[in-house]
Amino acid sequence: MTDDRVELVIFDCDGVLVDSERIYCRVDREVFARVGAVFTEDEMAELFVGSAHDALTALVEQRAGRSLPVDWHEPFRPLYEEALDAELTVVEGVTDVLDALDVPFCLASNGSHASIRRNLTRTGLLDRFEGRIFSARDVARGKPAPDLFLHAAATMGVPPERCAVVEDSAYGVRAARAAGMRAFGYSGGLTRADRLAGERTVVFEDMRRLPGLLGVTPA
C-alpha cells in the first residue's frame, strides 16, 4: 500500500446511494411556492442539493420575504413520503460499488436519522450500513462545515487523511476538503461537474467507476 491509501469510504446518502435528489427538488419547488418562495429548476439544483435544513429554511424565508414557523415544513411531509414511496430507487451502480469495496465504509448525511433509515429501507440498503450511519443531527454544524465527516472518521477510528468522501453536492465536497479528506464528486445527478471540481477532488459521472478511482480491485 502507498501512503495515500484509503482506509475508509464515507458516502453521502441522497443523490449518492439513493436517487432521491430529483424527487426532493421537485416536491421542494412545489412546497416552497406554496409558502411564497418561487425558484427556478436551475436554482433548486444549485441552492438546495445537499443543503442542511436550517440553510434551506433561511433561503426560503429570504425569497418569500417573511419568517416561517419552526415547524413550517411538517404539513407537507406526506407529499415527500408519497413521492419517495412511489419513485425512490438505488443510484445505478451503487450495489456493485459496495460489493467491490475491500475497505470499511459508512454513511454521513445532512438528513435526519429517521429520513436516512427510511430511504435506506425503501431501497434495501439499510443492512449495508447498519451501525455506521451518521447524521448532521449528531454534530453542531452540518455540511459544508467539516464536523460531520470528522465525527464519522473519529467514530470509525480512521484519520481524516485516510478517508475518501463520495458526494454529489457542492456543500458536501466543501465539507470533505475542510475535513482534510479526499473528495469524489458524483456528477451523474443534479449537480454540474464544474460545481464539484476543486482541490483534492475527483469528479466522475458513472458510479461504477468509483472502485477504480479509489484503487479498489473488485472481488
Which of 86, 112, 141 is at the close of a domain?
86
In the chain, the number of structural domains is: 2
Q: Are 167 and 185 in contact (CB under 8 A)?
A: yes
Supply the DSSP symbol for 51. Answer: -
Residue 141, all three cell numbers: 454544524
* Same-domain check for residues 154 and 205: yes
Q: Is residue 1 assigned to a domain?
A: no
Q: Is residue 197 assigned to a domain?
A: yes
* Same-domain check for residues 183 and 101: yes
Q: Is residue 132 assigned to a domain?
A: yes
Which CATH number is 193's domain given?
A: 3.40.50.1000
Q: Is residue 32 assigned to a domain?
A: yes
Q: What's the CA gap between 33 and 35, in Å, rounded?
A: 5
pLDDT tens per residue, range 145-200: 999 999 999 999 999 999 999 999 999 999 999 999 999 999 999 899 999 999 99
pLDDT tens per residue, range 75-125: 999 999 999 999 999 999 999 999 999 999 999 999 999 999 999 999 999
Q: What is the pTM of this model?
A: 0.91
For residue 132, give Cα distances in angstroms to 126, 186, 202. Answer: 10, 21, 24
Q: What is the pLDDT of residue 3?
A: 60
